[in-house]
């Protein structure tokens, strides 16, 4: 069945870049998403990319998609303490969106 995998934890220093990686299995995925969940809050859509794109940039966020390897990454430039959260990768090819377990980003001041 479909599966989305991501590492569970990432620690970076304030000001550095963060790169969160994700792999998925469904080759028919049409949309891939990154969501952010701050403590005690629901999920907030950060950005998404269509499967026919290989890169999308939005201010400090850069999404890279390698469709051949089914690999998605989220790069956060100049990481700030406010970026500390859990980041979920998700993919969909139909009505059901499959989420990864989330990567907890810890930013050290």
Partner 1 sequence: GAGVSQSPSNKVTEKGKDVELRCDPISGHTALYWYRQSLGQGLEFLIYFQGNSAPDKSGLPSDRFSAERTGGSVSTLTIQRTQQEDSAVYLCASSLDSSGGGDTQYFGPGTRLTVL
Residues that bind partner 1 (CB under 8 A): 30-31, 33, 35, 41-45, 48, 88, 92-102
Residues 6+ apart with CB under 8 A from 91: 2, 4, 24, 26, 29, 31, 32, 33, 72, 97, 98
Task: Considering the complex, state which of residue 24 and residue 33 has its C-beta at the smaller distance from partner 1.
Answer: 33
Task: Considering the complex, state which of residue 31 and residue 106 has its C-beta at the smaller distance from partner 1.
Answer: 31
Q: Map tokens 């201010």 to a residue.
A: 59
Task: Considering the complex, state which of residue 1 and residue 82 has its C-beta at the smaller distance from partner 1.
Answer: 1
Residues 6+ apart with CB under 8 A from 57: 63
Give the pairing of strands 55-58 and 18-24: unpaired
- Report the distance separating Cα 54 and Cα 49, nearest Å: 8
Task: Considering the complex, state which of residue 16 and residue 50 has its C-beta at the smaller distance from partner 1.
Answer: 50
Rounded to a whole number of angstroms, the minimum distance from the CB of residue 9 to partner 1 is: 11
Rounded to a whole number of angstroms, the minimum distance from the CB of residue 6 to partner 1 is: 9
Rounded to a whole number of angstroms, the minimum distance from the CB of residue 75 to partner 1 is: 21
Rounded to a whole number of angstroms, the minimum distance from the CB of residue 78 to partner 1 is: 26
């Amino acid at each position: 069945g479909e599966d989305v995998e991501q590492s569970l934890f990432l620690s970076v220093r304030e000001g550095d870049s963060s790169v969160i990686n994700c792999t998925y299995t469904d080759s028919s995925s049409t949309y891939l998403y990154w969501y952010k969940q701050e403590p005690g809050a629901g999920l907030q859509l950060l950005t998404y990319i269509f499967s026919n794109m290989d890169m999308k940039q939005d201010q400090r966020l850069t999404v890279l998609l390698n469709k051949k390897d089914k690999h998605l990454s989220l790069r956060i430039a100049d990481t700030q303490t406010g970026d500390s959260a859990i980041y979920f990768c998700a993919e969909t090819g139909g009505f059901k969106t499959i989420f990864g377990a989330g990567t907890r980003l810890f930013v050290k001041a």
